Structures are given as structure tokens and as C-alpha cells.
Structure 1
Amino acid sequence: VRLKPGELLRESLMQLVKEQGLSSAFVISCVGSLTQARLRYATSSDGSGTNPSELLQRHMEIVSLVGTISQGGQSCHLHICLSDEHGRAIGGHLLGDDIVYTTAEVVLGCHAGLVFTREPDPATAFDELVVTAAPALKPK
């Protein structure tokens, strides 16, 4: 899919999965740029939980986008790496508020035999990815 200037990256991918009737999808490739993105970084160094989010507002090149979209587009877990005009990179958990600058060309993959869900994991206190076999289709 190609997203155009002003479109929202994360939300557009979730909507595409819904519209296509997919149970889940994963990002294969993404190139493009953003003018804004909200990121959350790794667990805080003092172990008190996750860091607060940060809203980045400048022209940024998408260096990498990885992750999954699950539950028919209702949930996603995406990580992004962005670079500024000097090539300095920053990355983290993509929370949204991500506005396409010039383009975002995204290749998504799916596997009809698999279903991705997210379930609470007491060890991490987060909803974590669970991959299961899709229910078998009954012949007509």
C-alpha cells in the first residue's frame, strides 16, 4: 500500500487489515517519511515501568518498520526507526500520531493458516503476541 502526505501510518495499516478481512498481518517492508510520530521507548532504567511517550515533530526518514497487526486490525504492535536530516536515528514503539510526509510505501504479509492475538503475560505485565493455527475451513 502507498500512503500519501497527511495520512496516518499506524491507523491506515490497521484499517487496511480490517477492510481486507484479514485476521492478522505483519510488516515486510516500509520506506517513506513522516512529519510527526509518537514513540514510547524501552522500559525505564529504574525498572518502574515504561517510559512516557514522546511526540516527535520534524521531517524524518523511515529507516525501518517492523511488527504485527492482529485481531482483524483491532490491535497492533509496531516498532519504528526514524532518522533526522543528519542521519541520526531514533526508534521505539510506534503509538500513533504518525503523519506521512512525502510517502509511505508499506508491504504487508499475511498467512491464512495463522492467527495472531495478544494475551496478558504475568511475567511482563504486557499483552504479548500469541500465534495459533487458524480454524480449519469446512468444505461446502
Structure 2
Amino acid sequence: MACGGSALRVHALRLGPGKELFSSLMSFVEERGLKAPFIITCVGSVTKATLRLANATAKNTNEVVHLQERFEIVSLVGTLNKEAHLHICLADKEGKTIGGHVLGDLEVFTTAEVIIGEAADLEFIREMDDKTGFPELVVQPRTDQK
């Protein structure tokens, strides 16, 4: 279902060494009461990551990798509502990439510079989709305009 357009608010933050990226983003969103947040861009590096790979299904969720080495963040995309849905692509020291659904454990190595957008007139929620077996995005008009 499509929903109309929206004004855009932009937020920026930088996380330093040792911070956990995923939980820090979720805290940022919660503290500011963002209702329809999404990643515009992110650059930085991590020393750890836990990702669910593409072969996972609702019945087979154990397609998970735990990575522990230095990686450049070459892409981070997704929505940051209460049940965030983020995908990341990481490049190792040889430039080889791995990517997947972010489960957490993204420990910042040197920095993570993140620009977050918020669709100011919308609200993102998630509802279980019987076809996919996962809670999927539902976009609706925002009811509590600031």
C-alpha cells in the first residue's frame, strides 16, 4: 500500500571507537521520538558484526555469521522504527565484501558517521506478514504531528 509524500527532517551523529552502532542508532531514535526514521548514509568502520544471511527464512533463521576483524562500512540502509530493518555491506582489508541483515554487535573501530532521515508526516510500523513469516513495514500517515 502506498502512502503520500512527506516533509524530510535530517539528523546527524558520529559514533566513536567501541560504540555499538545498532543499539546506538536505536537509542538515538527512541530518545528523539522519531516515528519514520531511515538511514540516508553511513561511513565508518567496525571490528565486529553479526549478520543474518540471505538464505534465512522465518523457519530457518540460523543462517548467521559472526565476524571479527576490521571492516569498512561501504553501505548501511534501512528503516529504524521500533523493529528496525537494516542491511549492511562491509569490505575487508582486501576489499572483499560481505553483507546481510544486521542483527547487532557492530562495534565501531574508528568512527561511524550516520545521517538519518525522518519522514516527518509518516509513521513506520511493522506487522506480521503471513506470506513472508516476518514482520514487514507498514507506512501510514502520522497521527501525532509535532
Q: After TM superposition, give the deviation of residue 17 of structure 1 in Å.
A: 0.5
CA distance in 1, matches of 2:26, 2:104: 11
Aligned residues: 134
Instruction: Return the letter of the residue paired with 1:15.
Output: S
Give structure 1 regions of 4+ aligned residues with deviation exceeding 6 angstroms: none
Which residue of the partner structure matches residue 18 of structure 1? Answer: 30
SS in structure 2 opposite 1:13? helix
Which residue of the partner structure matches residue 37 of structure 1? Answer: 49
After superposition, the C-alpha distances for 1:52-74 in whole angstroms (9 at most, x for unaligned) are 3111000000000000011xxx3
Q: After TM superposition, give the deviation of residue 50 of structure 1 in Å.
A: 3.6
Matched, 1:62 2:70: no
Which residue of the partner structure matches residue 129 of structure 1? Answer: 137
Which residue of the partner structure matches residue 86 of structure 1? Answer: 94
- The 5-angstrom pairing of residues 108-123 of structure 1 reads 108-123=116-131
Q: Check whether the contact 1:42–1:51 (CA below 8 A) recurs between aligned residues.
A: no
1:77 maps to which of 72, 85, 92: 85
Q: TM-score, normalised by structure 1?
A: 0.89
Structure 1 gap segments, 5+ residues each:
none
Q: After TM superposition, give the deviation of residue 43 of structure 1 in Å.
A: 2.5
Instruction: Return the letter of the residue paired with 1:118.
Output: R
After superposition, the C-alpha distances for 1:85-127 in whole angstroms (9 at most, x for unaligned) are 0000000001001100000000000012100011000000110
Instruction: Return the letter of the residue paired with 1:5.
Output: P
Q: Check whether the contact 2:55–2:63 (CA below 8 A) recurs between aligned residues.
A: no
Are the structure 2 counterparts of residues 119 and 48 from structure 1 closer, same or farther at C-alpha, using a change threshold of 3 Å?
closer
Q: TM-score, normalised by structure 2?
A: 0.86
Are the structure 2 counterparts of residues 44 and 52 from structure 1 closer, same or farther at C-alpha, using a change threshold of 3 Å?
closer
